[in-house]
Structure 1
Amino acid sequence: MSDPVDNHAAPLDASVDALSDVLDLIHLRGEGLTVVGAVGGADVRHGAGERVVHLVEEGPVELVVDAGARLRLGKGDMALLATGAEHRLRVVERDGSWMSGRFLVEESAASPLLAALPRVIVLRGSEPGLEWLPLSAGLLAAEIADPSAGSRAMASRLLDLLFIKALRAWSDTDGAGGSPGWLTAALDRSLGPALWAIHRHPEQPWSVEELAGLASLSRAAFAARFTRLAGDPPARYLARLRLARAADRIATTTEPVGAIGRALGYESEAAFSRAFAREYGTAPRDWRAARNGSAWPG
């Protein structure tokens, strides 16, 4: 008899899981892929609030962010503007072209999270370790040139991939350490086990000692590292995560407010409502009423 096939798959690293949870929370979705062609000297503008990625097919192209920093992008380069910074693209020498894709998110959850990022993340297609970039760009270009069944879904998934890959590349640079926030902490491997636990079970009354043990750090070292990278102490991070999850459920489900609060660790609806109002400036029921009057992709 032949040996049984081992179908056991090793679990994903906890720090990757923490980032996945955060991206699930903001409802990231790539959409609206287009090809732009422009003659030398022409400007293509993007207003504030547009979260987009640009992949240069023919260049060079000049990227001007917030009427300030000027960056030159060559063929094969990518620029991610995840914070929604106003910017424009300009062909500086000869005719140029690029692909642009936009990202939809749930703004109430995404705004504080993505604020940790720089206004623009640039990846150079010629750099070692970025072999996935021209491959992804080629797949996107093929879907645009010859669309068929599933092309829209394919493009959406590829845009999501580019977004995540850009975050990882940014995390690997020294620049990431100077921007505290939820995302910076989620990308830190040493905090991965603790963040995985918090994100998987935000309803639990996690103590600093418990989380430090998961991270294999002393209480003081864990608290200091967590606060430096996340921008909040562990207890405040947990509270904000609970409320962000609650806001998402209030906006996207018909669950009773009190049940949502209890599911996320609050002892009473009154305690939950007070905490929610402090964070979002309005009571949970008013939040639900306001959100039901506006559209966003769920």
Structure 2
Amino acid sequence: MDVLSDAVAAMRTGHPHSSRTVNSGSWGVRFPPSEGAGFHVVVQGTAWLVPPDGGEGRTEPVELRSGDVVLLPHGTGHGLAGRPDAPLVDAVRAPDGSWPTPPDRAPAGAAETLLLCGAYQVRRARAHPLFTELPPYVHIPARVGAHPRLRAAVDLLGAELADPQPGSDALVPALLDTLLVLLLRTWWLAERPDRTTGWSAALSDPAVTAALRAIHADPARPWTVEELGVEGGLSRAAFARRFTTLVGRPPLAYLTWWRMTTAGRMLRTDDTPLRTVAQRAGYASEFAFAKAFKREYGTAPGQYRKASARA
């Protein structure tokens, strides 16, 4: 798997949910902080995002136009309204976990705003830096001819929510997961203004990307810095400097972190024997693995598995 796919798989948990709402008149909704990551798509009309805690140094509302997409990756509270000064009404979860909007009391003929809103359940304990480096909100404005795959996913999701067909219960969660990957890809590779540092630069750098792909494809391999440099076509010293600058940690430190993250996911999600988990994490013995795991997680692998099963 590539690094973006792995990052999403490591964090995603449970089932995503979404809803299609029509609002008109003077409407406004306040979404409280949550453990998940939320999104809003303006299908028709306009809306205003009240940023979480003045995201990106902003305190004023942000206008969202038809086709705009917003991702709230860190579960921070925020507002959504029909006009920038509209009063906000607290959203209350529906039985399925979605966030319905308050009943519309607008006069007949008022302009309507059609929204697709939803949320993902995520595990933040060992979030990949691809997630932790995201700003409080990611705004991807609609532009003619831009991001056709993202637009296609939005259109398909909107159609399934507006007119459910046989198989929609299976298709909608898959489309939601597709939308999340496309949102992240679009932000990191196309929309982020500063692509000279951090993960935006790392994913755009051929040498670093090649090394990351090698690590994620075979984390159990006893990689050396020199071997990873060969993957990227650089000398050992040049590669180590570039990788550390862009990724934020040295190559072998990232390798260890990813091995432990992968091991933790295996312990949470299946009953793979500890010996096999240790081997897949690149350790020759259960003892060495258990020692490294406890250093990272503060608990033994077996205890971590039992605690995850109870959660």
Matched, 1:212 2:229: yes
Q: Tell me: CA distance 1:118–1:67, structure 2 relative to 1, closer, same or farther (3 Å).
A: closer
245, 251, 269: which one pairs with 1:234? Answer: 251
Provide the residue aligned with 1:86 in structure 2: 77
Q: CA deviation at 1:173?
A: 3.9
133, 158, 162: which one pairs with 1:116? Answer: 133
Q: Tell me: CA distance 1:283–1:179, structure 2 relative to 1, closer, same or farther (3 Å).
A: farther
99, 114, 119: which one pairs with 2:116? Answer: 99
Contact 2:30 2:77 in 1 (8 A): no
180, 195, 201: which one pairs with 2:198? Answer: 180
Question: Which residue identity does 2:211 align to in structure 1?
Answer: A
Q: Distance in 1 between matches of 2:197 and 2:309?
A: 33
Moved more, 275-284 or 39-48: 39-48
Q: Tell me: CA distance 1:113–1:279, structure 2 relative to 1, closer, same or farther (3 Å).
A: farther
- Give the number of aligned pairs: 278
RMSD of equivalent CA atoms:
2.6
Contact 1:28 1:160 in 2 (8 A): no
23, 45, 48: which one pairs with 2:8? Answer: 23
Matched, 1:129 2:146: yes
Q: Distance in 1 between matches of 2:287 and 2:204?
A: 35
Q: CA deviation at 1:284?
A: 1.2
Deviations 1:49-81 (A, max 9, x none): 231221112332111222323321011111112
Q: Distance in 1 between matches of 2:79 and 2:26?
A: 14
Q: Distance in 2 between matches of 1:56 and 1:105?
A: 23
Unaligned runs of 5+ in 2: 85-110
Q: Distance in 1 between matches of 2:132 and 2:210?
A: 24
Q: CA deviation at 1:105?
A: 3.3
Matched, 1:290 2:290: no
Question: Which residue identity does 1:241 align to in structure 2?
Answer: W
Q: CA deviation at 1:255?
A: 2.7
Matched, 1:225 2:242: yes
Contact 2:41 2:116 in 1 (8 A): yes
Q: CA deviation at 1:214?
A: 0.6
TM-score normalised according to structure 1 size = 0.82
Question: Which residue identity does 1:66 align to in structure 2?
Answer: P
Moved more, 254-263 or 73-82: 254-263
Matched, 1:56 2:47: no
Deviations 1:65-114 (A, max 9, x none): 22323321011111112222222211107643311122233443446551
Task: For residue 219 of structure 2, give the secondary structure of its aligned residue in structure 1.
Answer: coil
Contact 1:227 1:234 in 2 (8 A): yes
Contact 1:29 1:156 in 2 (8 A): no
Provide the residue aligned with 1:273 in structure 2: 290
Q: CA deviation at 1:248?
A: 0.9
Deviations 1:110-131 (A, max 9, x none): 4655112122111112244223
Counterparts of 1:31-70 in structure 2, within 5 Å, are 31-38=16-23, 39-68=25-54, 69=58, 70=61
Moved more, 169-178 or 56-65: 169-178
Deviations 1:9-60 (A, max 9, x none): xxxxxxx833223333334676211013334242241423231221112332
Deviations 1:211-262 (A, max 9, x none): 0111012222211221122211101100011101111111122233243213
Task: For residue 102 of structure 1, give the secondary structure of its aligned residue in structure 2.
Answer: strand
Q: CA deviation at 1:178?
A: 6.6
Moved more, 165-174 or 22-31: 22-31
